[in-house]
Amino acid sequence: NAGVTQTPKFQVLKTGQSMTLQCAQDMNHEYMSWYRQDPGMGLRLIHYSVGAGITDQGEVPNGYNVSRSTTEDFPLRLLSAAPSQTSVYFCASSYLADTNYGYTFGSGTRLTVV
């Protein structure tokens, strides 16, 4: 049981490049989400999904795209990287029904856009 796995751990992109951040969970969680964490800003929700085939926007969705073709995977795509997207990105998952377990987070992807 690996929990939530994020790859890569570190990435440097040039402005205008595109890339996909991978997120996979093996807990059969219905709910998955992407957050970005910036100094002094806490965590801000980018996109989320309540199940395969269903995605929705969070607080800061611009410049990002997601899909959920399987329960396990929830990749985050940066369409055309900008320096403002330099951040630490976290994927999190949970059961959709109200439980005591909260979210399980991945270890993060540290992205630098130059």
Residues near another protein (CB under 8 A)? 4, 31, 33, 35, 40-45, 48, 50, 56, 58-59, 90, 92, 94, 96, 98, 100-108
CB 15 → another protein: shortest distance, Å?
Answer: 26
Taking the least distance from each CB to another protein, the nearer of 17 and 37 is 37
Taking the least distance from each CB to another protein, the nearer of 13 and 47 is 47
How far is 44 from 4, CA to CA, in rounded Å? 18
CB 96 → another protein: shortest distance, Å?
Answer: 6
Give me the long-range contacts of 56-60 (CB less than 8 A, separation at least 24).
58/33, 58/34, 60/36
Taking the least distance from each CB to another protein, the nearer of 51 and 83 is 51
CB 45 → another protein: shortest distance, Å?
Answer: 6
How far is 114 from 112, CA to CA, in rounded Å? 6
CB 100 → another protein: shortest distance, Å?
Answer: 5
Number of neighbouring beta carbons within 10 Å of residue 78: 20
Q: Is the dihedral of CA 18, 81, 11, 105 positive or negative?
A: negative
Taking the least distance from each CB to another protein, the nearer of 17 and 27 is 27
How far is 9 from 18, CA to CA, in rounded Å? 16
